[in-house]
Amino acid sequence: MPVIVAALGYFVDIYDLILFSIVRVPSLQAFGLAGKELINDGVYLLNVQMIGMVIGGFLWGWLGDNKGRLQIMFASILMYSLANIANGMVTSLPAYAVLRFVAGVGLAGELGAGITLVAEVLPARIRGYGTMLVATVGVSGAVFANLVAHYFSWRNAFFIGGVLGLMLLVARLKVSESGMFQHMTENAQLGRGNMFALFADRKRFFRYINSILVGVPIWFIIGILVTFAPEFAAEIHISGPVSAGHAVMYCYFGSIFGDLSSGLISQYLQSRKKVMLLFMMLGLPAVALYFMQGGSTPQFFYFVCALLGFSAGYWAIFVTVAAEQFGTNLRASVATTAPNLVRGMVVPMTMLFQFSSRFFGIELGALAVGGICMTMAFISLSLLEETFHKDLDYYEEFG
C-alpha cells in the first residue's frame, strides 16, 4: 500500500508540475500576452514555481524527519491540490505567479516523503523495485496531463488535477508510518531533521551536494530542451509546428520506459551508480541528435524528445540514492530537498540560458548550459558511494 499511494501521489505531482509547461501558451494568451512575452513571462512563472519547490523542499524535509513521512504526504498533497483548483480561476499574471509559488511549495513534499517511506518499509533486496514503480507510475502523469489539456480547457485541466489530488487523500488513510521513523521517535535525545548538520560537517556537506548534482542533467532536458521545444524547433527549422504539450508528453513517455529499464537493470547489476552512469552517457548522443535534426518532421522531433526522456529515466534511482546516503534522522530532509533543489536549478539554468543566448544564439547557449550540467554530474557521481545493499536502519551523528 505505501508503494501504491506514493506512486499515485507522484502521478498527481507530475501532472501538476508539467501541466503548466503544457498550458503555458494558451493560459498566458488568455491574459493578452503574445510574442516574446510568452517566453519571458513563461520563464518567470516557471522560476517562481521552482523557487517555491526549493523553499518547500526544506520545509517539508524538516517536517518529514520531525513529524513523520505520512504527515508530509498528506499536507503536501492537500496544498498542491487546492492550489491546482485555484490556478484554474486566475485572471491575472500576478495572481498566477502567487498560485504557482504556492503549488510549488506543495509539490515539493510528496516525492521525497514517498520515496523515504518506500525505502524504509521494503527490504534492501527489493527496495529498487518499489522506487521504480513509484517513478514509472508517477511520470505517466505527464502523459495524462497532455491528454487532459488536449480535450479540456487549460482552466478545467487545473481543476481535474486538484480533484485527483483530493481523491488520493482517502487512500493515504490506509497507510502506516515507517517503522524506522517510529523507532527513532522513541529516542528523545536523538537530533532529527537538523538541516544545519548537512552544512556543518565537510564530508556530509559534499555527500549532500554530490547527491544533488547527479540529477541536474535530468532537469536540463526537461526544463530547457523540452519546455521550450517550440522555440528550438523553429530555430533548427523543423518542417512543421511543434507543440510544447506534445514534446512534454513524448519526453515523459520515454521516461516511463527509462525509469522502468533503469530500475530493472539496477536490480540485475545490483548497482545504482553503474546505471546512473549508463543513462547519463545515453543522454549525450540524445542531446546531440536533438540539435542535429535540422529540417526533420515534427514527428521525428517528438521521437527525439522520447529518446531524451528515456535517457533522463534515472530520476527514481537518483532520489533513492540520495535517500540511501543518509541516516534515518536526516533521510526525509535529504530525499525531499535533493529533487527540489535539482528542479530549482532550472532557475539559474534558464537565467544562464537567456544570458548566453543573447551572445551565441539559443542552440549554442543551450549546449553551453548542458555541458556545465553534465560535467558536474559526472564528477559528482564518481564521488558517491554505492548504496544498493546498504542497511538504512542507522542515524547520523551530530550535536
Question: Which CATH architecture best describes the domain 2-173+192-383?
Answer: Up-down Bundle (1.20)
Reported as a single tens digit per residue, the pLDDT across 233-249 is 988 888 888 887 788 88
Which residues have a Cβ under 8 Å from the Cβ of 363 and sit 6 or more positions away? 232, 235, 236, 291
φ/ψ of 90, rounded to 5, equals -65, 150
Question: Could you give the residue ranges of the DSSP H alpha helices within 270-327?
Answer: 273-292, 298-311, 315-324
- SS3 assignment for 341-394: HHHHCHHHHHHHHHHHHHHHHHHHHHHHHHHHHHHHHHHHHHHCCCCCCCCCCC
Spatial distance between the Cα atoms of 153 and 159, rounded to a whole number of angstroms: 10
Which of 373, 328, 345, 326 lies closest to 53, judged by CA?
345
Spatial distance between the Cα atoms of 31 and 34, rounded to a whole number of angstroms: 9
Under-70 pLDDT residues of the chain: 172-194, 396, 398-399
Grid cell in block for residue 50:
521552482
Which of 91, 55, 93 lies closest to 76, judged by CA?
55
Rg (CA), the chain: 20
Grid cell in block for residue 255:
521516461
Sorted by where each begins, the domain ranges of the chain are 2-173+192-383
For residue 336, give Cα distances in angstroms to 193, 277, 343: 11, 23, 11
What local confidence, expressed as pLDDT, does residue 185 receive? 65
Q: Any idea which residue has 558511494 for its cell?
A: 385
Which residues have a Cβ under 8 Å from the Cβ of 303 and sit 6 or more positions away? 250
Spatial distance between the Cα atoms of 280 and 282, rounded to a whole number of angstroms: 5
Spatial distance between the Cα atoms of 256 and 310, rounded to a whole number of angstroms: 7
> Residue 32, SS3?
coil
Cβ burial 185-197 (10 Å sphere, 16+ → b, else e): eeeeeeebbbbeb
Q: Are 377 and 216 in contact (CB under 8 A)?
A: yes
- Helix-, strand-, coil-residue percentages of the chain, each rounded to 5: 80, 0, 20
Q: In the chain, what is the straight-line distance between the N-terminal and C-terminal CA atoms, in Å?
A: 36
> Residue 216, SS3?
helix
What local confidence, expressed as pLDDT, does residue 382 receive? 93
The number of beta carbons lying within 10 Å of the beta carbon of residue 361 is: 12
Spatial distance between the Cα atoms of 284 and 374, rounded to a whole number of angstroms: 9
Grid cell in block for residue 320:
533513492
Which of 332, 318, 337, 320 lies closest to 56, judged by CA?
337
- Cα of 338 vs its chain's centroid, Å: 10
What local confidence, expressed as pLDDT, does residue 372 receive? 93
Grid cell in block for residue 90:
486566475
